[in-house]
Structure 1
Amino acid sequence: MSTTATETQQQQHQKDANANANPGLKLRANANVDERGQAVQEEYRYAHLLPHFSEDRYPPLTPFEHNDPGARALNHPNPRAFLDNATSIVELTPNLGTEVHGVDLRTLDSDGRDQLALEVARRGLMVFRDQADFIDAGPDFYLEWGRHFGRLHIHPTSGHPQNYPEIHLVYRDANSTFNFEIDDSITSTSWHSDVSYERQPPGLTTFFLIAQPSTGGDTLFTSQVSTLKKLSPQFVAFLRTLKAVHSGVEQANFSRSGKRGATVRREPVEHVHPLIRRHPVTGEEALYVNRQFTRRILGLKKEESETLLKFLYDHIDKSGDLQARVHWTPNTVVLWDNRITAHSAIVDYKDSKERRHGARITPQAERPIPALDGLSLDD
């Protein structure tokens, strides 16, 4: 095959990828024309993954024993063997994030998935490019993939593909949004650890965009291991003695007000977690508070709790040297350890009216382990 032909194929592949990411571009580039010469809108390729809000209701979640797959990889002869065929491995920052090319996540066997879990625990965040086969494998595969890493979480308020409640969707287009977005703020940045209000919040999380705007819509991540290390030893010793309430009430009320699909499938809960948790596999300690769901520190007076939480939130917000920014390109799959990272979507693309459509596979993990031995999590 000639070099010119190869370049032409590559250019067409990129056009197809851009069209899938941006339905408006696809219409302009590949629109069908009716008998009057008018452009006809093509059906959205991922319509089967659009948000659905069922009337199903679910009972409270029950405790379960979580066996972290990353722990199994500690006994593998080469815990990073799943990266052996990678064509490129680049650390996004010294503290957080690795970008990988040349590894097909869909082909990983059980050992490879265990190794992946361990590497995500160690790096906090991993970005895998060129994952079209993974994304196009469909929702049944997503469930099989996620169950390797834990019990799949069903979000109490978000949209999901019809008949697949375990797949959490984010969605915004020119006419609608089904995200947990607060409009009366000067910023769209909202650091959080997903559904930290659950008794057993998520661990290894998989997320990908099915469609993305032509520019903008990035995701910020920060290392909660590193934010903790920035604090003085005496202060950290004090924080280890504390625990805080994480609440899903505000998120539920947001939906009950008529937003985000106006659905609450499971009554909101509040749970108590340590301010500093220990990772069950790496043993690393991480700050575990977030602006979106942490409400108050137990044992402190109201003003004390608010002052301390504001300091910690500001520390997380301002620590740009501990953060990584993921720029979404077509067929990117991102995995992070929800126990030791926080993240925020960046809603800077509203004026473009373009679609941003993503899917999250969210296995739950253990109840957060206090860094301070013997700290009781009872209220």
Structure 2
Amino acid sequence: MAKLILTAENFAFGPIGKLLDVADLLKKQGHELTFAGFGTSLQLAKNYPFDAIYEIDTDNPESNSKLEEIVSQSDMLVSSMDIPSVIVAQRLGKLTTWIDCLFWFWDSIPELVLNVDLYIKECLMDDKVNEEKYANKIKNLCAMGPIIGMMDGGNRRNQVLISYGGGEAPYWYKSGRDTNYPFVMTNILLKSVDWSKFDKVIVATSGRIAKELSKKFPNSPFEFKTLAHDRFLDELSHSEVILITPGLVTAELSFESGTPTIFLPPSNNSQYLQLDQFIEHGLALAHAHLSDFMPRLELKGVPLRDSTRMVLRQLKEFEQSPETQRHVGERLNKLIEDREKWSGEFISKGKKFIDSLGGNGAYDAADKIKQTLIANGFH
């Protein structure tokens, strides 16, 4: 079997979540898996049974020598949108797999990833623009359905899961510095929603934010936690209802599991655009979009740094408007109370949507990686 180095961009929990879903299947194939990463990606990786884990900030040029040492001992790099590790792997002549779960989102795709040995494009949103722009330029492009983790069925628990995802991306925005989203949203949910009918309410996010929330709301009925990826899948798939920021990973899990889902206001630019798409496709039957209460932001085609600033600016306005917060809270409370009216349609549409994209692409991704390894002499 092959020695694989796995990396994920240090951007909340999205890239690492996708990587772990594929890692489960690669491990079953018998490969030796080593993770290298930092920040929110490392938080989730530490709870996964990798054969080895290295704390390396791949975005920091000072880490290059250490990263080179680790990658040099591998047969293949599997990168979930972490560009620096791809640069190192290509310089060393290593096989490289690129997992892109935001193909539709990019205003540009770096030329260096166009020639990787395997480019896995996850299908979800309308990606016609980038398909026309890049499909013929990508050497080994493989499109597949959403990459989704394995979830068991079973009875629902009388609980709610609230997910803010990783809540921050250090080189883009940081909670408590650029945004107070988790704290403002938690305050809204505590003030506006009646939780008395549920046995438990879990708020899942990154370790640092969960700790700060516990300090700020010490006597709340919420349990603030950072959940290992497999535990998160379990809690999500067995909850009565979930409230989530409209990130890609958690949304796909909600569609696949058939868990009634309320979309919270977006906390970053990709979530803003994703919620737009979910609403357009009739998938977000229960939502509280920023654009429902504040001027709509036109983010399509805007450079990523600029669109990030636009959303953070509007979130700052949201944080400073008690009236808007009250309206959001009232909407969320009503959606929870009336969930029987919309949950059946949500479950039906969500599953049909995932099926229309080819079903769970995690298996296809793992199989393509295996085929690439075999084609290059690894068994």
Q: Give the TM interval when normalised to the shorter protein.
A: under 0.3
Structure showing greater radius of gyration is 1
TM-score normalized by structure 2?
0.25
TM-score normalized by structure 1?
0.25
Higher strand share: 1
